[in-house]
């Protein structure tokens, strides 16, 4: 893979590749799975929620794409290895790994009536593990496949919470900052020790209303924005929350040859949130 010598059309061509997407049954990553399948990528949808993964895979197949659901717990090495065996049996290789499984937990979030000082260690550990360990373990197991192949592409999911911590989400902010750090670490490690043709990058989505943050951004009873939700919109120059489709172009760019010399970076996809101090 040299510099970019191809036409615009083929530069972004990712057809024929195989992708493993953890958390592929979830809101953001199911959209990625569908989008990649439309581009001709064979996708393995890995999720703890097997029914959700199956639903996404079925939907893709109905559209004419190629997808398989594979149950996994990204926090258990043996489970991830079993998923690798299943994926290798089906596809024979892993060109792309998207580490999408992650999220926050209310019990690990500091509130006025639930102080930082009282957050139980189990809740902190749950969020650290789900995000950081849940990114590192699949990167070990599927990264080894890519090291043997000599080519590969890994995309991690960081967050706005990583660049400067968000109020309230103490464990989540720390865990996502660690994911940005790990993205750089792994890019260097795989490049130095295995192949210059394995790239590792991350995206840092802005604010997308999903299950992990609905309780922070909207009032449960009315559905109206909370003061925090209003503040997010005020600090987003594009003045809206993201929708899952907003992430797709960046994902395709990062895994295509159009990003052939892009390695070890974290790309904000945030409507300008991270560019604005609020003044
Ligand atoms: N929603 C946002 O605004 C936002 C912003 C920045 C980053 N993110 C990140 O994007 C990623 C996807 O978020 P989402 O909002 O689509 O969340 P989601 O809850 O819809 O999806 C997460 C998926 O991960 C799966 N999962 C949970 N634990 C697992 C485990 N142990 N093993 C395997 N799968 C497991 C869940 O079943 C779920 O399907 C997460 O890493 C999240 O932190 C979200």
The 10s digit of each residue's pLDDT in 90-143 is: 999 999 999 999 999 999 999 999 999 999 999 999 999 999 999 999 999 999
Active centre residues (catalytic): 172
29 and 5 Cβ atoms separated by less than 8 Å: no
Q: Which of 82, 210, 218, 242 to mutate to test the pocket of ligand 1 (most atoms within 8 A of CB)?
A: 210
C-alpha span between 25 and 150 (Å, rounded): 29
Q: Which pLDDT tens digit goes with each residue over 204-241?
A: 999 999 887 888 999 989 999 999 999 999 999 999 99
pTM for the model? 0.96
Ligand 1 centroid to residue 1 C-alpha, Å: 32
| Residue pLDDT, tens place only, 16-38 | 999 999 999 999 999 999 999 99
Q: Which residues contact 72 (CB under 8 A, 6 or more apart)?
A: 22, 46, 47, 48, 79, 80, 82, 83, 138
For 247, residues 6+ apart whose C-beta sits below 8 A from its C-beta are 28, 31, 32, 203, 205, 269
pLDDT surpassing 90 at residue 1: no
**Residue 3 pLDDT > 90, yes or no?**
no
Q: In this structure, are residues 63 and 38 in contact, taking their beta carbons and an 8 Å threshold?
A: yes
Look at residues 56, 42, 53, 137 and name the one whose alpha carbon lies nearest to residue 92: 42
Query: In angstroms, rounded to a whole number, what is the distance separating the alpha carbons of residues 139 and 144?
Result: 8
Q: 28 alpha carbon to ligand 1 midpoint, in Å?
A: 7
CB of 75 sitting under 6 A from ligand 1: yes
Classify domain 8-206+244-268 at the CATH superfamily level.
NAD(P)-binding Rossmann-like Domain (3.40.50.720)
> Please, which contacts does 57-60 make with residues 24 or more away whose CB atoms are closer than 8 Å?
57/33, 59/34, 60/33, 60/34
Dist. CA 142–CA 88, nearest whole Å: 10
Cα dihedral sign, 93-193-98-133: positive
Asked if residue 73 has its Cβ within 6 Å of ligand 1, the reply is yes
Ligand 1 pocket check for 72: Cβ under 6 Å: yes
- With bands split at pLDDT 50, 70 and 90, how would you rate the model's confidence at 7? low
Q: Is the CB of 67 inside a 6 Å radius of any atom of ligand 1?
A: no
State the average pLDDT over residues 36-63.
98
User: Where do the domains of the chain lie?
Assistant: 8-206+244-268, 208-241
């Amino acid at each position: 893979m040299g510099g970019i010598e191809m036409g615009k059309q083929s530069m972004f061509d990712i057809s024929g590749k195989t992708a493993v997407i953890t958390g592929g049954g979830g809101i953001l990553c199911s959209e990625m799975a569908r989008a990649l399948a439309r581009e001709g990528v064979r996708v393995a949808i890995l999720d703890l929620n097997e029914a959700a993964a199956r639903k996404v895979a079925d939907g893709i197949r109905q559209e004419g794409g190629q997808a398989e659901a594979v149950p996994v717990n990204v926090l258990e090495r043996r489970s991830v290895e079993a998923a690798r065996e299943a994926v290798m049996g089906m596809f024979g290789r892993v060109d792309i790994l998207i580490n999408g499984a992650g999220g926050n937990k209310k019990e690990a979030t500091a509130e006025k009536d639930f102080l930082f000082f009282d957050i139980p260690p189990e809740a902190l550990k749950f969020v650290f593990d789900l995000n950081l360990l849940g990114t590192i373990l699949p990167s070990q197991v599927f990264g080894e496949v890519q090291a043997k192949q000599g080519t590969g592409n890994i995309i991690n999911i960081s967050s706005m919470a990583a660049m400067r911590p968000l109020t309230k989400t103490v464990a989540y902010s720390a865990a996502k900052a660690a994911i940005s750090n790990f993205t750089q670490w792994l890019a260097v490690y795989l490049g130095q020790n295995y192949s210059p043709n394995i790239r590792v990058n991350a995206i840092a989505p802005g604010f997308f209303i999903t299950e992990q943050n609905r309780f922070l951004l909207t009032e449960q009873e009315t559905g109206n924005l909370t003061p925090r939700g209003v503040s997010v919109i005020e600090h987003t120059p594009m003045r809206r929350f993201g929708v899952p489709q907003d992430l797709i172009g960046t994902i395709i760019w990062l895994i295509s040859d159009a990003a052939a010399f892009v390695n070890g970076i974290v790309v904000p996809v945030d409507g300008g949130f991270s560019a604005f101090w609020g003044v």
